[in-house]
Amino acid sequence: MGIKAGVVGVGPVGQNIYRCIHELGLQCDEIRMFATSAREMDVDGEMLSVLGLGTEYSDEGLKLFEGLDVVFFAGREGEKGAAKTWAMKAIDTYGCFCIDNGSDFRLDQGIPLIVPEVNMDVATSDTRFIASPNCSTIQLCVALSPLYAKAKIKRVIVSSYQAVSGYGRDAQADMVQQLKALDPEDLSKPLGHDPGIFRKQIVLDCVPHIDSFMDNGYTKEELKMRYETRKIFGDDTMDVVATTVRVPVDIGHAESLNVEFDGPMNAETARELWRESSEELGIVVIDDLAKDTPGWPTPGSPKDATWAGHKYADERSYPTQADVLKGEYKNLVLVGRARDDYSRENTLNFWCVSDNLRKGAATNVVQIAMGLVKRGIIG
């Protein structure tokens, strides 16, 4: 027998939760979809009935949660957001188990913040609410986890290249409008963006501003990566310094990382550790000699010459954001470009890519629910 699941929010994350429940095999007898207003909605050719909760708390709205074992929250964040309005009331009234994609409760003491591959064990039989981390934090933690198990991490410097869908469906629609307004004869012409979404036009540009600016000059997104990563690894000594950048990509976040370890670590060991744990952690290493690439070796690289004392080498493969749209990679974390940092001992540079709507959100929460079922905490 399956469980009864609710999904609050039918934006890109809510829709992907619906897909992941089926694709990953969370056994459900019922999937109840909610948004602010009722509607019929087409998801991959299937017409779903969406129940309307309204934009504020009501007793009638709360009754719609009756009988649900687990509720996935994929609504807007904040005081009047979905999780703040409904989650604790659904727990207290109907004993629902709540798993939240938003940031409202992630750093609260006593609220587990879970990436199942890293810290599923922090959920106990007393837990009723679990927070799922920020999309950029999740892929970072998955990629770091087998390396951390080998050598403690002292410091992470990360720059992100984040897709517009990380903001939600409104940002995707705004980017499409900007693309339609492109004039191939004059690429400098303003495209008419919505400054309520991103402050600057996103097409043909990159914007180093995600979420609010904070009093230390960092953005909230950058600080989320710091505090959430520390909480997930249970290690407040690990320093995480982030620069988060919005790029004109629809789906898929990329990160460039520089990681300093407390013990021996190099690029070759990292690739081995990722490959060994690939099945268990959902990591794919794309960092080999790129023999199948058209144009290999890199056109214009003279094989026997040297430059600045370095020999030219054969081209290597690497993952990009477009790769995560391929079916086989959408729930995984792709890593590549692993290099020893020649300026610092036991320090590594690498590149990591994942689907922000999948492993960065929907896949993670469905995996959490599957972990709870396995542990007998729900179902």
Ligand X SMILES: NC(=O)c1ccc[n+]([C@@H]2O[C@H](COP(=O)([O-])OP(=O)(O)OC[C@H]3O[C@@H](n4cnc5c(N)ncnc54)[C@H](OP(=O)(O)O)[C@@H]3O)[C@@H](O)[C@H]2O)c1
- Active-site residues, by number, are 135, 253
Cα torsion through 277, 280, 285, 288, rounded to 10: 60
Q: 207 or 290: whose CB is closer to ligand X? A: 207
List, as one string, the DSSP characters of 309-366: TEE----B----GGGGGSGGGTTSEEEEEEEE-TTSTTEEEEEEEE-TTIIIIIHHHH
Is-contact 76 14, C-beta < 8 A?
no
Q: 5 or 348: whose CB is closer to ligand X? A: 5
Spatial distance between the Cα atoms of 61 and 114, rounded to a whole number of angstroms: 28
User: What b/e readout covers 81-103, taking b as 16+ CB neighbours within 10 angstroms?
Assistant: bbbbbbbeebbeeeebbbbbbbb
Nearest distance in Å: CB 336, ligand X: 22
Nearest distance in Å: CB 356, ligand X: 4
Spatial distance between the Cα atoms of 128 and 150, rounded to a whole number of angstroms: 32
Binding residues for ligand X, rule: CB under 6 A, are 8-14, 34-37, 53, 55, 74-77, 81-82, 85, 101-102, 135, 165-166, 168-169, 356-357, 360-361
**302 Cβ neighbours under 8 A, 6+ residues apart:** 312
Nearest distance in Å: CB 89, ligand X: 12
Nearest distance in Å: CB 211, ligand X: 9
Is-contact 362 20, C-beta < 8 A?
yes
Angle at 362 between CA 326 and CA 13, to 5 degrees: 90
Q: 127 or 165: whose CB is closer to ligand X? A: 165
List, as one string, the DSSP characters of 165-188: GGT-HHHHHHHHHHHHT--TT-TT
Q: 99 or 284: whose CB is closer to ligand X? A: 99
Nearest distance in Å: CB 138, ligand X: 8
Name the residue number minimizing CB distance to ligand X: 11
Q: 357 or 377: whose CB is closer to ligand X? A: 357
